[in-house]
Amino acid sequence: MKHSDERVALQAVEFWSTVCEEEIELEIEAQEEYGEMPETESRQFAKVALGETMPVLLNLLTKQEEDADEDEWNVSMAAGTCGWCRPRCNRPCCYPLHRGQHQG
């Protein structure tokens, strides 16, 4: 996500968005099983990588250009989407990190 080539950084952010979306779906599936073992179990990769990925995503949000085309998908937009997905994926552990990033 820190790569200087925006296309590479965009693909890395998209990767973590996909991981989060998959883990959310696995959590929903596990809740719907009512005591039965789900077919696939989450390995919680997003939660493990949270300390490394969330600060980078927050930094990427600051990279949005003023004259950027709103219809063109860029790394800042992808970081915003992924950042929105992360708390849904890692509910309790994500919020202290967000507060810590915004304190002066």
Q: Which residues of the chain have pLDDT under 50?
A: 92-104
pLDDT at residue 13 in the model: 92
Question: Residue 49: what pLDDT?
Answer: 85
Instruction: Count how many domains the chain has.
Output: 1
Task: Let me know if residue 25 belongs to a domain.
Answer: yes
* Predicted local distance difference test score (pLDDT) of residue 33: 67
pLDDT score, position 91: 52
Rg (CA), the chain: 15
Look at residue 32 and tell me if it is in a domain.
Answer: yes
- Residues 60, 86 contacting (CB under 8 angstroms): no
Is 1 inside any structural domain? no
Is there a domain that residue 41 lies in? Answer: yes
| Residue-wise burial string across 57-82, b where 16 or more C-beta atoms lie within 10 A, e elsewhere | bbebeeeeeeeeeeeeebbbbbbbbb
Query: What pLDDT shows up at residue 32?
Result: 77
Range of the domain at 40: 6-102
Specify if 34 maps to a domain: yes
